[in-house]
Copies of this chain bind each other. A is one copy, B any other.
Amino acid sequence: MKYSYIAGFLVYCLFNLVLVFASVNIVTKFAPAAAGSGIPEIKGYLNGIDMPGILLFRTLVGKIFGSIGSVGGGLALGKEGPLVHTGACIASLVGQGGSVRHFIKWKWLEVFKNDRDRRDLVTCGCAAGVSAAFRAPVGGVLFALEEVTSWWRSQLLWRVFFTSAVVAVVVRSAMGWCTHGHCGHFGSGGFIIWDVSGGQDDYSFYELLPMAMVGVIGGLLGALFNQLTLYLSSWRKHILHKRGERVKIMEACLVSLLTSVLSFGLPLLTKCTTCPEGDKYSDIVCPRPEGSYGNYVNFHCSNPNEYNDLATIFFNTQDDAIRNLFSTKTIHEYSASSLLTFLAMFFSLAVITFGTAVPAGQFVPGIMIGSTYGRLVGMLVVNVYKNSNVDEGTYALLGAASFLGGSMRMTVSLCVIMVEITNNLNLLPLIMLVLLISKAVGDAFNAGLYEEQARMKGIPLLESKPKHFMRRTQVKETCQSQKVVCFDRVSKVGHIISVLQNNNHHGFPVTDKLQSGETVVIGLILRSYLLVLLQSKKDFQASNPHRDIREQLSRHSMTDFAKQASSKGLSLQDIYLTPEEMALYIDLEPFVNPSPYIVPEDMSLTKVYNLFRQLGLRHVLVVPRPSQVVGVITRKDLISEPSEDTNAHEPSSIGDR
């Protein structure tokens, strides 16, 4: 007996270790960008910042196999974040028509090869990830729109909705196909993963107080989680992970061993409890039959009529553990001490695991932590009020919502996801309430998990709201220390090279002299375009007459200037020019963006920020106050077609605000 437990323990540890070792090896050696959840990086991408490598094919592969290892290895992390990242990678690959390096190429997909469509596709990919992970199609739509993307458009809504609907139908069909259990765990629980629809569907007024308490605890613990993980990731980034890959691998293996020891060892130390009387809860068997999933796990119990409550949550797949915590009509299944032990251990494990070099999602650990303290509060309520309508499972559900709200600070999407995975619409008002409280409490301490992580990783997200100091700042103060470098319309190659070497600006205004002798700004040219021009050398010309724009453009294909998915692009080191070539000229006009957005120099920075953020710009040119107004564009100029007489149709009802 003793021996078999030791053997079991060793096999358990070994299996987990091998899986985690494989995962961390794949990630560190093959796809470093696949570590973590990937959501902060995707958020950054959609906000306009390309982190190197996050949407590559190899990242996709690393993410998929890495998360099989890390989730299968029983670490305190989830598969949801990685699935979001996986969805985004697939979307991005589709968007660029496959991966050239891996010989997958679809020509017809090249229509998507512009920034805006690619971003839209990636947003759809994120939604697909959540839809598939939680079988929550509407939750996926809302997650993508509330948490991930930075710019809403109504077309985007429609596209994301379409994607999610397709995912829902596919998942549903696959589950129908797997309905007889021959796809393993997939499909267990049906379309609703953790069904609590049989539980409490009404609540009394006096329950609002403990529920609010759950919200407050969620806010506090969530903020604590964010803060601890922030410290730890920062320490890892600056100290631990600088020591090389071997340290990363060893770290992950140690965490795996620790997790195995705790999740096997702690239940061993727990005393078993006698099963409750069977007649009252006839559909739940105690202890559960061998080989099945469910409540009341008999583990290391001397008596066949006993169960080990810690093993019921600890020594189980996470999905089943959550199902057991959410389970209704199982009052007094858990002892408070077991739940507290589990809470403390799992919270610590989740904090430590976060940031190791394996793919890791925070949804499932968050639900585990939240439902544990939620169930604790539920037990308290059951004991204090002695009302048979109160169900501990309901509190576990609210706890899960509150921890996620307190950590990730989402509202609508979390609310819909929680309802979609638990199938009890009657609890909706309560979930909303708890989320509001936990988010408000959490916001008092720090920013959301993903924002904090993004900041730590050096991804400067532009928030939707301008900062306060901007109100009193004029834009000219911000750019007074700048030295603006302009190019003439026809510039010398050598000059361009030297300018590019001497600064790291990404865009340069281009000026031209009119016949009247006046200088005008004819547009903005991007560094990346200049590099392409310098490398291709097609447009070099001897003297400096203007050339035919069309002819020049015809020498380049549409996609020459498109950004590569690897996000690296050309660099100056890739370009080799002879001294003769350096003396030639380029006419830049065909390649400039002829009308970048401009702002007068005394505009307040708040307004510039709004312009920049709302339109998703990269560069705004600051110009002197205009001396003349050519026209005023109002709503009516933008409503009517040009052929109509615009003045005749002005609706009298237009006021001006």
Taking beta carbons and an 8 Å cutoff, which residues of A are in contact with B? 48-52, 115, 137-138, 141-142, 146, 152-155, 157-158, 161-162, 164-165, 168-169, 171-173, 176, 190-192, 197, 202, 205, 411-412, 415-416, 419-420, 423, 425-426, 428-429, 432-433, 435-436, 439, 458-460, 462, 464-465, 467, 469, 473, 475-482, 484, 486, 504-507, 509, 511, 518-522, 524, 526-528, 563, 567, 569, 594-595, 597-605, 607-615, 618-639, 641-642, 646, 650-651, 653-657
Among A141, A428, A621, find the residue whose CB has the most chain B CB atoms closer than 10 A. A428
Assembly CA distance A520 to B620 (angstroms): 21
Minimum CB–CB distance for A515 against chain B, Å: 14
Assembly CA distance A173 to B203 (angstroms): 10
Q: CB-CB < 8 A to A604: which residues of B?
A: 595
Given A155-B465, A479-B637, A518-B627: A632 touches B642 (CB 8 Å cut-off): no
Q: CB-CB < 8 A to A157: which residues of B?
A: 146, 411-412
CB nearest neighbor in B for A651: B458
A477 touches B155 (CB 8 A): no
Per DSSP, chain A at the interface is mixed
Given A429-B137, A598-B599: A633 touches B478 (CB 8 Å cut-off): yes
Given A521-B625, A628-B519: A425 touches B432 (CB 8 Å cut-off): no
Q: CB-CB < 8 A to A598: which residues of B?
A: 598-600, 626
Q: Which single member of B50, B162, B595, B601 contacts A607 (CB below 8 Å)?
A: B595
B619 touches A623 (CB 8 A): no
Q: Which single member of B142, B191, B563 contacts A657 (CB below 8 Å)?
A: B563
Q: CB-CB < 8 A to A506: which residues of B?
A: 634, 654-656
Minimum CB–CB distance for A91 against chain B, Å: 16
Assembly CA distance A504 to B527 (angstroms): 46
- Show 23 residue pairs from A and B whose CB-CB distance is below 8 angstroms, ordered by the A residue: A48-B635, A50-B655, A137-B428, A165-B433, A191-B425, A192-B426, A458-B651, A459-B651, A467-B641, A478-B637, A481-B646, A482-B632, A484-B629, A484-B630, A486-B629, A506-B655, A521-B626, A522-B625, A595-B600, A598-B626, A609-B638, A611-B615, A618-B634
Q: CB-CB < 8 A to A635: which residues of B?
A: 48-49, 460, 462, 612, 618
Minimum CB–CB distance for A279 against chain B, Å: 26
Assembly CA distance A504 to B161 (angstroms): 43
